[in-house]
Amino acid sequence: MNRGFLVAATAISAAYALWPLPTDFSTGTAALTLASDFDIDISAIPNPPQDLLDAISRTKGYLQTDQLEALVVDRGVSYNQSLQNASSLVSLVLSYDSGLAGEPTSISEEAIDDIDSRVEGYTLTVPEDGSAATVKANSTLGLFRGLTTFGQLWYDLSNTTYTVEAPITITDSPVFPYRGFMLDTARNYFPVSDILRTLDAMSWVKMTTFHWHMVDSQSFPLEVPEFPELSVNGAYGPSLVYSTNDVQTIVSYANARGIDVLPELDTPGHTAIIAQAYPEHVACPGATPWATYANEPPAGQLRFANANTVNFTACLISSVSARFPGKYFSTGGDELNTECYAVDESTQADLNTTGKTLEQALDTFTQTVQSVLEDSGKTPVVWEEMVLDFNLTLSNNTIVMVWISSADAAAVADKGFRLVQAPSDYFYLDCGAGGWVGANPSGNSWCDPFKTWQYAYSFDPVANLTDAQAKLVIGGEHLLWTEQSHASNLDSIVWPRAAASAEIFWSGPGGNISEALPRLHDVAFRMTQRGVGAIALQPLWCALRPGVCDLTA
């Protein structure tokens, strides 16, 4: 990771489809076709991990099925002559840069390594004369990133798969290790297949983290074998539950694609639904008017001042976190409503008995919960309020999600915590579609306006931070809160917009939107070919004519 590299990489030909933009690369002007017997050669890799073999398989599949015509006016027809005379590429050779001591680790193992230890860099060469292309890396994850890039190089013309920019040489590695997407599966439920498709799309733009906001006040779609009533009573329906098996499927699928899963059990707020199974642990369940006791209906929060509730929460988090192989686990901590506790007699009695203030009780709760995580080798993740709004003793290791505003990053960093940039003012995908609360005729979304990809792309993760503060930024993520989303608009609300942050945090900020737009078109069109419903960013007329639809063109 090279945190010093925070400027845009070399400008490239607009037709080129690499996303995120590689650190360093050069291209030529020669045509090169993919041989019909093209294959990916891993003979240099002893005992290749199964997930690498699978990734190779998928890559070969995409090379055959993408069938993406070049985004130029004639869709590549004018290349026909040069393709007739072009060399043909028969092989892509994968190898480790410097040999290996022992068995190679799998993509899945490397994907869940400590976030600062992951090695994603690779080099890729595609000679123009038809001699073997190469991907070299010091890690299996690096080989996978190189394969992903290789898959973005090719267009289709009448069933010929080709590039017109050989030779190609790429040296690439990310600026930030945390490049994520958050999905809320509690406001509305998403079938497992939608999550898997999303993970594929994330991997195509080299994201590393699926932040899974699993449960919230509205539903508890997660099966917890130790506490089965949580989903039996709290899911939207018996078929709208992520079973233990589903969780395993999702995690394996993600890891095999270089993606770590960051599970979140939001506590102590956003937990009203737990009252359906364990009413004794929830203060002010369904209290009205809800707006007094919660940011969204229904009201209801864990009675963190109560020892039994602390114990229950610790057990719950222990049970859930044990089913995720990753090292990071979020206990949430956003939007805690103190009114809810003011009217909760049980909480008031507990505070009276223990002689603690609400904040002291929260501190006990948080320390207990964090201990559970740390004792099992996990690193806690929390929303920014846990650091900025309360005086709590948090593990030094804690990672903090900045969401309310990008302006809060400095304050979080000043407390010495590593942080993830998830600011609502840049990366909230749900903003701008009007208010969803009922009886609110001219209601707007609280985080208006709509966050365009262009605006997200202008985000600077270290803006207004000192060097010391900037060192604590480990990356960022786009987020989808799903009050107004379910399966039908998942793809269209996320893609290709979320690719904007994927590039910022891989390539560094400062990129030019005019240069990025043609490449982002390519991302969207390739996603569409692969079954992900990315939207059109412009009329196709514009997509085929880079720059011509620019404001001042």
Q: For residue 345, with 0-12 CB atoms within 10 Å meaning exposed, 13-18 middle and 19 or more buried, which class applies?
A: exposed
The verdict on whether 335 is a catalytic residue reads yes
Nearer to a copy of itself, 218 or 370 (CB): 218
Q: Are 200 and 192 in contact (CB under 8 A)?
A: no
Interface positions, 252-291, toward a copy of itself (CB under 8 A): 288-291
Please state the closest distance from residue 344 (CB atom) to a copy of itself, in A: 20
460 binds a copy of itself (CB under 8 A): no
Asked whether position 232 contacts a copy of itself by CB under 8 A, the answer is no
- Residue from 243, 367, 395, 489 in contact with a copy of itself (CB under 8 A): 489
Is 229 among the residues that bind a copy of itself (CB under 8 A)?
Answer: no
**Cβ nearer to a copy of itself, comparing 378 with 519:** 519
538 touches a copy of itself by CB under 8 A: yes
- Cα distances (angstroms) measured from residue 349 to each of 155, 305, 344: 68, 9, 9
State how far the Cα of 107 lies from the Cα of 282, in Å rounded to an integer. Answer: 41
Site for a copy of itself in 39-98 (CB under 8 A): 75
Q: How far apart are the first and last CA of the chain?
A: 38
Q: Which of 109, 335, 374, 515 is catalytic?
A: 335
H helices within 124-243, ranges in order?
Answer: 140-150, 192-204, 229-234
Closest distance between a copy of itself and the C-beta of residue 66, in Å?
A: 16
* Cβ proximity to a copy of itself, 24 vs 483, nearer residue: 483
Q: Residue 381, exposed/middle/buried by CB under 10 A (0-12, 13-18, 19+)?
A: buried
Q: How far apart are CA 69 and CA 79, in angstroms?
A: 11
Report the site for a copy of itself in 135-194 (rule: CB under 8 A).
Answer: 186-189
Number of residues that bind a copy of itself (CB under 8 A): 71
- Please give the angle made by the CA atoms of 13, 18 and 22, to the nearest 5 degrees: 95
**Dist. CA 24–CA 541, nearest whole Å:** 31
Q: Is residue 347 close enough to count as binding a copy of itself by CB under 8 A?
A: no
Residues 188, 482 contacting (CB under 8 angstroms):
yes
Give the footprint of a copy of itself on residues 430-459 (CB under 8 A): 432-444, 448-455, 458
**Angle of CA points 389, 390, 395, to nearest 5°:** 115
Asked if 510 touches a copy of itself (CB under 8 A), the answer is: no
Range 284-313, binding a copy of itself (CB under 8 A): 288-291, 296-298
Min. distance of Cβ 207 from a copy of itself in angstroms? 20
Task: Write the binding mask 517 to 536 for a copy of itself: x where contact by CB under 8 A, - elsewhere.
Answer: x----------x----xxxx
* Eight-class DSSP state of 99: B
Angstrom distance (rounded) from CA 553 to CA 511: 20
Least distance in angstroms from the C-beta of 52 to a copy of itself: 31
Query: CB of 291: closest distance to a copy of itself in angstroms?
Result: 7
Q: What amino acid positions are annotated as catalytic residues?
A: 335
